[in-house]
Structure 1
Amino acid sequence: MATRLVLWDIDHTLVDTRGFGWALFAEAFHQVTGVPLERQPRISGMTEPVIFRETARLHGLSTTREEFDAFAPVLAELHLRHSAELRERGHALPGAASVLAALGRVPGVRQTVLTGNIRATAHVKVAAYGLDRHLDLGIGAYGEESEDRAELVTLALDRAGCPASEAVLVGDTPGDVRAGLAGGVRVVAVATGRCGREELRSAGAEVVVPDLSAHDDIVRLIMNGQTGAVRQRSR
């Protein structure tokens, strides 16, 4: 069936904050816990509540949802306050804006985000690089809504009123891949983050592309599964 909904991961799929996003996380963590951030877990594919809890654990702290609920607005406020610096220090990944714009011209296709970020920081990040104009952020699914990314897939599908058979998830981590497969949607994995192609394939991705720069091919791949030159490049 034709694609009607595209679910985009944000970090290292659409944008790269070049470490500034983590610097803001560290500042929020310090403000809320009183403990300077000295260690970080391997965060690829985690949702924000899990990242907060695991980071706290590495610093000898035991936290509950209450502590995360205190942390989230501090993190959001820091992103809003430093949005200009976020824009200056980071960037949209090659091809991201072109792919989003091209898909936005396809009748009947809606695009949104499925991200481990909390809603407020997700909105700041995509707006910082001008990507929000192509996304229906109201139907997205966000990290504070579930620790399980597969549940976020179901949530986004429900909000969009779209069956899984007509949706595609695009992400850069094994967690993205597994979430998409568990949610019954087609997955396009992009090897633009910390995870290599073989790691993404091992998670179950049938198609792994090196990046979004071949935007015409990526659009065709997202819309109907035809890989063409993209598949050749991904081998």
Structure 2
Amino acid sequence: MSELRLILFDVDGTLVDSQGDIVASMTRAFEGEGLEAPTREATLSIVGLSLEVAIPQLAPGLDASAYDRMVAGYKAAYMELRAAQGSQKSSPLYPYARDVLDQLATIDHYLLGVATGKSRRGLDALLAGHGMTKMFLTQQVSDHHPSKPHPAMVLAALSETGVAPENAVMIGDTSFDMQMARAAGVRALGVGWGYHKPEDLEPHADAVIHDFRDLPGAIDRIWESER
């Protein structure tokens, strides 16, 4: 009988392309404080971090109350945009993502999970909108953990599933995902279609892929390399 394997996914930039709403929400958060909005590139560079960590990086030197208002403003704007369009338009799945997820879910010894900078409410809404509420056995969100790249999310997922670190892989589009995987002692697989440049992932990743259809083979190769 095969050992259980845990496949953890980041969400924004890995499973779904939510950059339009992310940039628009961050712009609204800054404008609410009378600040010039960051560039698209700057905003996408912090995707994956918890908002409480990301916003001070984009606007250093403000007081705590300003950051609290900006976090609240971002969340309100994001919810408004999602409600207006629905998750499938607001945060569409990347090409072939659903097909590959369905394929992986049929493999008995594979367990699927997520480790995301989204809130519990945000993740619940996204998964419901895509009909994937029951797809991920373990779901780690920003409400309960330090921001990436701290390994807490991955360690909690390992604990919940009983999977050993050597039998787990973290899949993500940012250097924060890769660094989190390394800190937790699991394998790291980068995807080149997200918000960080592939060359920023490569120093920390076991491999980087550029097409969702290549994911099952890349996972097999990562674990075969341990034999």
Q: What range is the shorter-chain TM-score in?
A: 0.7 to 0.9
Equivalent residue for 2:46, pick from 43, 46, 52:
43
Q: Which runs of 5+ in 2 are unaligned?
A: none
Aligned twin of 1:61: 62
CA distance 1:120–1:45, change in 2 (3 Å) = same
Aligned twin of 1:140: 139
CA distance 1:77–1:4, change in 2 (3 Å) = farther
Letter in 1 for 2:168: A
Aligned twin of 1:231: none
Alignment check: 8 A CA contact 1:4 1:162 kept: yes
CA RMSD of superposed structures (Å): 3.1
Alpha-carbon distance in structure 1 between the residues aligned to 2:126 and 2:29: 16
Alignment check: 8 A CA contact 2:187 2:206 kept: no
CA distance 1:74–1:208, change in 2 (3 Å) = closer
SS of residue matched to 1:16: coil
SS of residue matched to 2:89: helix
Shift of 1:199: 2.2
Shift of 1:8: 0.3
SS of residue matched to 1:124: helix
Alignment check: 8 A CA contact 1:15 1:92 kept: yes
Task: Tell me the alpha carbon deviations over residues 167-215 of structure 1, each in whole angstroms, 9 at most, x when there is no partner.
Answer: 111011111111111111111111011333322112x21211112034x
CA distance 1:127–1:167, change in 2 (3 Å) = same
Alpha-carbon distance in structure 2 between the residues aligned to 1:5 and 1:83: 32
Aligned twin of 1:130: 131
Q: 5 Å matches for 1:81-160?
A: 82-83=82-83, 85=85, 86-136=87-137, 139-144=138-143, 145-149=145-149, 150-160=151-161
SS of residue matched to 2:140: coil
SS of residue matched to 1:49: helix
Aligned twin of 1:210: 210
Task: Tell me the alpha carbon deviations over residues 32-72 of structure 1, each in whole angstroms, 9 at most, x when there is no partner.
Answer: xx445622643144232211332442xx522279927x945
Alpha-carbon distance in structure 1 between the residues aligned to 2:152 and 2:208: 23
CA distance 1:5–1:76, change in 2 (3 Å) = farther
Alignment check: 8 A CA contact 1:3 1:224 kept: no
Task: Tell me the alpha carbon deviations over residues 16-45 of structure 1, each in whole angstroms, 9 at most, x when there is no partner.
Answer: 0241133234445666xx445622643144
Alignment check: 8 A CA contact 1:220 1:226 kept: no
Task: Tell me the alpha carbon deviations over residues 117-165 of structure 1, each in whole angstroms, 9 at most, x when there is no partner.
Answer: 22221222333333434223xx322223212432221122122222211
SS of residue matched to 1:193: coil
Please give the TM-score of this superposition, normalised by the length of structure 1. Answer: 0.76
SS of residue matched to 2:212: coil
CA distance 1:6–1:27, change in 2 (3 Å) = same
CA distance 1:23–1:81, change in 2 (3 Å) = closer
Give the paired residue count.
216
Letter in 2 for 1:167: A
Please give the TM-score of this superposition, normalised by the length of structure 2. Answer: 0.78
Alpha-carbon distance in structure 2 between the residues aligned to 1:80 and 1:157: 34
SS of residue matched to 2:213: coil
CA distance 1:219–1:43, change in 2 (3 Å) = same
Letter in 1 for 2:49: M
Letter in 1 for 2:165: A
Letter in 1 for 2:205: A
Shift of 1:2: 4.3
